[in-house]
Structure 1
Amino acid sequence: MTRAKAVPETVTVHIPFRLVKRGGRKEIQLPDGASGHSKMDNTLIKALARAFRWKRMLESGEFVTIAELAEREGIAPSYMTRVLRLTLLAPDIVDAILNGQQDMRLTSARLLEPLPINWTRQIELFD
């Protein structure tokens, strides 16, 4: 009978990276040629969270109109309607944003513009 080689208790992994300060924040900078996930866009993530929260508040009957909810939130109703359109995004696009893997052209300013309702056409815009 052959004995298996012992498994070490500790494994050391070396990952080359640098911490860089940008605008008061620390970011991880990978070496040239290293692949990594795109940076998470906190502005987009926050806009998505707001949109789905506001949609839930309207659908639950907590607020009857967008104007009423906008007043409570202290924002313009026109802005709220633009943000609420994010709830109509294709699930693939929402997942990409939440995972930090969205196309660089997919910005909050671009998403607040009118987009096609058809999910396939939305995805084609950013492929």
Structure 2
Amino acid sequence: MSEIHIQKMGKPGVIEASDGRLTLSVPIQIKRRSGRKLVTLPNGETIKPRPWDTTTTPLQLAVARGHRWQSMLESGEVKTMRELATREGVDNSYVSRMINLTLLPPWTVAAILDDTLPGHITLFDLAVDPPVVWATQPS
């Protein structure tokens, strides 16, 4: 029967038990990034999830939501952000922050959609008071 024991990273190795079973030791780290678990090997290489195993990250959802809400405002479907917030059942400031995401530079949006944005950049960093000049925004 297979068992998984999680320990601190060590050296790789194989141990053979007296009954013929083998124990394989693989040093990896599992980190959370954008709500996903990523496996990091000892050399620092990160194993990317397979395309069919991925789910939409909260940051990707926020960008999509911001663009959808911006379209609703521009088309006249809703007149104000307050009306939009009431219709969506969220706070006015949340609507404002999500719409701020429509002002991100293309390279930042691409990094969000590709899930390659550095782990230290958060939704709060991007949505609250984003820089007006693209050159000063995270890339």
TM-score (norm 1): 0.68
| Per-residue deviation, residues 52-96 of structure 1 (Å, max 9, x unmatched) | 010111111111111111100001111111111000001100000
Which is strand-richer, 1 or 2? 2
The 1:74–1:103 alpha-carbon spacing in structure 2 relative to 1, beyond 3 Å, is same
Q: Does the Cα contact within 8 Å between 2:39 and 2:46 map onto a contact in 1?
A: no
What's the C-alpha RMSD, in Å, of the aligned pairs?
A: 3.1
Out of 41, 65, 69, the position equivalent to 1:31 is: 41
The 1:28–1:87 alpha-carbon spacing in structure 2 relative to 1, beyond 3 Å, is closer
Deviation at 1:121, TM superposition (A): 1.1
**Number of equivalences:** 105
Q: Unaligned regions of 5+ residues in structure 1, if any?
A: 1-15
Q: Aligned residue for 1:4? A: none
Q: Unaligned regions of 5+ residues in structure 2, if any?
A: 1-25
Which structure carries more relative contact order (alpha carbon 8 Å, separation 6+)? 1
The 1:38–1:113 alpha-carbon spacing in structure 2 relative to 1, beyond 3 Å, is farther
Letter in 2 for 1:35: E
TM-score (norm 2): 0.63
